[in-house]
Structure 1
């Protein structure tokens, strides 16, 4: 029962792709082309960052995990949440909204990153080291995404 409940908090799959597409469309509507392009670029980056380590490590999920999922390491949810929400944290930091609102939004998104991974572990879908690996892989990809965003903004 817990597995099915916590599965709703997954940021990958259709919900994650739909969110990224919706965010990109909003940025395009407001003529924020670099932001839209970066969010769209997250889709293949996210896929590569999740699939490549899984192919090399090939670790099975904990006993009792839901059927039909890929290998356990790294946590795709942890990786995806660091990329998507981490870049959102970065953009909020660059915005001109009032300081208290900026910090509140950044803290809320940071907590979401942590909780999304914990929910997957509590649901029995991941080992703790899967989360650490996912957070690390997502962080490395996030650095590359922010670098690309800064380059796009220069042009």
Structure 2
């Protein structure tokens, strides 16, 4: 019964995240967030300095490309060779690959252009939802979930969660500060990725439960 309740909770959470994303997407589609988005970008860029811009460029760099690939490979090797959790590795790869595919589909569906206020860096492609935000949430979120039970101390678990959350937040904020995403792009990315992660975990645990019942 307890395990069933956990499965149901994971499904409910995924539905709530999907509803949240749907609301943001609806507001974006009807251009109800344009003024809010632009005001937040202007506010954040009001703190622009060369030093802060370098910090933000660093965080945006570790949110995609080679750094993300290197981190993902390192965690995958840890799961496979050190912790010997092959099934968890499948969940890890499924969560990351699915999140990237979902981002591509959503960007093509919404065709939202990037902000044109003041871009500190130049990028191409559509804006909604933020690929960096989805990628960061998926990578650090699923990593925290899978590594949680392998950290025995409570303080260690707290550090794991805090570090993961801080990285996800910093990467999202960097995209807004650098002028390549609206705040609603970042929030939409978080919600879409959270939906995908919760759904992936629900499917994984349901499969794991059935496998345990057969043995």
Please classify the TM superposition score into its range, dividing by the shorter chain length: 0.7 to 0.9
1:151, CA displacement in angstroms? Answer: 4.0
Maintained 8 Å contact 2:133/2:189: yes
Residue of structure 2 aligned with 1:120, choices 160, 165, 175:
175
Q: For residues 139 and 109 of structure 1, do their structure 2 counterparts lie closer, same or farther at Cα, with a shift above 3 Å needed?
A: same
1:54 maps to which residue? 107
1:1-155 correspondence runs (5 A)? 6-10=56-60, 11-30=63-82, 31-63=84-116, 64-65=118-119, 66-151=121-206, 153-154=208-209, 155=211
Taking structure 1 as the reference length, what is the TM-score of the superposition? 0.86
Q: For residues 125 and 99 of structure 1, do their structure 2 counterparts lie closer, same or farther at Cα, with a shift above 3 Å needed?
A: same
Farther-moved stretch of structure 1 (92-101 vs 137-146): 92-101
Structure 2 spans left out of the alignment, 5+ residues: 1-49
Output one character per residue of 1:90-137: Cα deviation in whole Å (capped at 9) or x when no partner: 224333510111112211211211111001111111101101110111
Runs ≥4 residues deviating over 3 A = 1-5, 64-68, 151-155
Q: How many residues align?
A: 155
1:21, CA displacement in angstroms? Answer: 2.0
Structure 1 spans left out of the alignment, 5+ residues: none
Distance in structure 2 (CA, Å) of the matches to 1:50 and 1:122: 21
Distance in structure 1 (CA, Å) of the matches to 2:137 and 2:96: 13
Q: For residues 110 and 129 of structure 1, do their structure 2 counterparts lie closer, same or farther at Cα, with a shift above 3 Å needed?
A: same
Q: Which has the larger radius of gyration?
A: 2
Distance in structure 2 (CA, Å) of the matches to 1:25 and 1:151: 25
RMSD between aligned residues: 2.1
Distance in structure 2 (CA, Å) of the matches to 1:55 and 1:4: 30
